[in-house]
Structure 1
Amino acid sequence: MASVIKIYALFLGSALLMFGGGLQGLLLSVRGAEEEFSLLALGLIGTGWSVGFVAGSITVPMIVRKVGHIRAFSVMAAIGTVTILLNLLWINDVSWIVLRALSGFCFAGAAMIVESWLNEVADNRSRGTIFSIYVTINMASSTLGQIAMSVTGTAGYIPFVVGAISFICAVLPTALTSSPQPKPLSSAKLDIGLLYRTSPVAAIAAFSCGMANGSFGTLAPVYGYEQGLDASGIAFLFAIAAILGAIAQIPAGRLSDRIDRRLVLIGLAGAAAVVGSLLILINPGPGVIMYVLFAAYGFAANPLYAVAVAHANDFAREGEFAKIAGGMLLILGVGLAIGPAVASMLMGALGPVALFVITAIFHGVLALTAFARMRVRGPVDAAERAPFRSMSGDRQVTPETVALDPRADSDEADIRDEERPANVQIGTQP
């Protein structure tokens, strides 16, 4: 019973963290546009978050080793709370870029610590269920945070205070736990060469998803603002893409478990490229067509990264999942950092609709790459594939998420075998 209570408390902490993150990310883009920040500054705010998130994923494990999980989490939550409040006090573009980087750093650290606790209480039988519930909670809470902007609006102090409350309350489940602290956090196992040798498609997919998702996540709210939507309209526009994207993970995953995953990548990436092209050609104003196209875009684009991770794992040798997934995280992070800056410059030159030039190009490149690779290498037999797992292709995945993934079990087994003394025999307990 204690373990069950602890798991649900950690789920609550993660939900509060993601709620605040969803609200803050959407709020800063829209409020920045209202404050007449330049498009480049708005893009760099998204870049700052991604740079901070990657830096946090790499360095926070060292901090935790020195001061422990509870203290480190408390520091991350406190600094994250202060950061969003400073966004309210210092309303200028340079400050927001720096503060957004600091927020990304703290968010990565806090998420990793929650995930490490979940990883500690999960066993081989429950890991898949815990991982699935955790990913679902993250997606739902982030979307609810975005929808919350339709209630709080963007003016004044209320949305910033609501986000701050959510961040600081996330510390309670870990601060009040009496359980022993878990093992040290997982550091990213990076081997880009191994990733590319294992699956060039997965490497291209990680970068393409980073470029497209980073651009869309940061600047789609600005696009909505420039099209004349109010805060409520932008929140629901963004939420409908997220909701349809989360729903799409189920059929996309099941289909990819049955047929060549590259066919699924071609279908999804091609559809996302077509939708992006339609948004460029039609350039719809506020109305039903815009919401339908955003829903279609989310449905097509959201599952791409998870399918790519599963495809890479199909060709990985036993014990290589963590290294390959870590390499994909690094490439994804690079794309997430570069995408908003490039898209903002293009939008400044060609107008807001140029956002979808970026998404259409990189989704098109992914579809063509997957098609070309099908002519070079055959698929893995369906019976030999690791099951698909839902996974967000944005700023929510950390090295500790990879460690929690049930597909990392073989890696952990290899580590345990390497660390077991040579004179210890494996067998039944006496």
Structure 2
Amino acid sequence: MTGRHVKQPLQQELMMLQKAYRIDGMALSEIVAISEEAARLRAAGHDVLALSTGEPDFPTPAHICDAAHKAMQAGQTRYPPTAGTAALRSAIAGKAGVAPAEVIVSTGAKQVLSNIFLATLNPGDEVIVPAPYWTSYSDIVALSGGDSVILPCGAEAGFKMSPEQLEAAITPRTRWVLLNSPSNPTGAVYSAAELAALGAVLARHPHVWIASDEIYDLICYAPFTSFREACPDLADRTIVINGVSKAHAMTGWRIGWGIAPAELVKAMIAVQGQITSGACSISQAAALEAVTGDQAHIAERLAAFRDRRDFVVQALNTIPGVTCPEPDGAFYVFPSCEAVLGQRTPDGTLLETDADFCTYVLAATGLAIVPGRAFGLPGHFRLSYAYARADLEDGCARLNRAVQGLISNQRTAS
């Protein structure tokens, strides 16, 4: 009897989970949540098309898969070095013109970002993040104890941060500025001159480091310039983040890397060693082939992405109330839906936000897209064109039907 009375309060205490303050307000990425909801609806028999995820529909090239197979057969299945295999680090370093000690290989670019901020941020430290931004940026900063300073950069600015904005945002607490070119979600690309202008500001603030996420560098329709190339004098406080996921269609292989001063790389290795250790040895063998092997698929797939972009931009700009700028890179468009907000759906629901609009589109036509609020810039939505042309045609037609439904309802109401 006594044992039961003691055990019951203990069970109740264990059931009351106390979450860490660092994850207050943190949840599953809205991109992932929408994609998973679309998958759930599809599994339940609904006609759902998701254009919400940034994952190329192309397969991983055969020669890259062959390299992984050969690595397995050769016994490369043991623990790899924490910082990455010597062969892959050397290959990345050679292409970047740095020493292997200035390269860290991680389980995807997201882990590189996590390593950076876990290794360098203390409570109250600030990271400048231009918006719109990839959804995980602000959460990774928060998880690392830092504060994101969000700078809205609208369509009128080409979705790019100006030197004046950057200068005004820097404080004694600023530790990093986080750039992303080509951008997710907008496809915006900073020119060499624009990067140099930002670099001129940062040169006056030696306490600020630069994290340049260039994961889409090979999916670019305009001339691409790395921040390190545009601002070589800032290389001693710059890290470039990249990987094989996007250009080589290797999202599931989970390999990314950082190119940075050796001092920062050592600090990131210390973090990575306590979280995952080295990235998958077989994936690193595949990534080595992606970096050093036949690159013919890059140009072929870039041409396909360009054709898809041109189709989607033209199709969306014919939809009343939707304005779609033409992106210079990546495989996303970030149109404005502000002109359709304030209208009511056929069932009487008022569309007040971009999230309301995306919810309506999914319910009305089965098309899953991501609201701009997920990227820090409401009034827009993101549509990925990393999908087959037939899916893109279907998706644009569904979006048009949804908007036409609003127009018809407005006419009926008036």
TM-score if structure 2 supplies the norm length?
A: 0.28
More RCO (CA 8 Å, sep 6+): 1
More helix by percentage: 1
More strand by percentage: 2
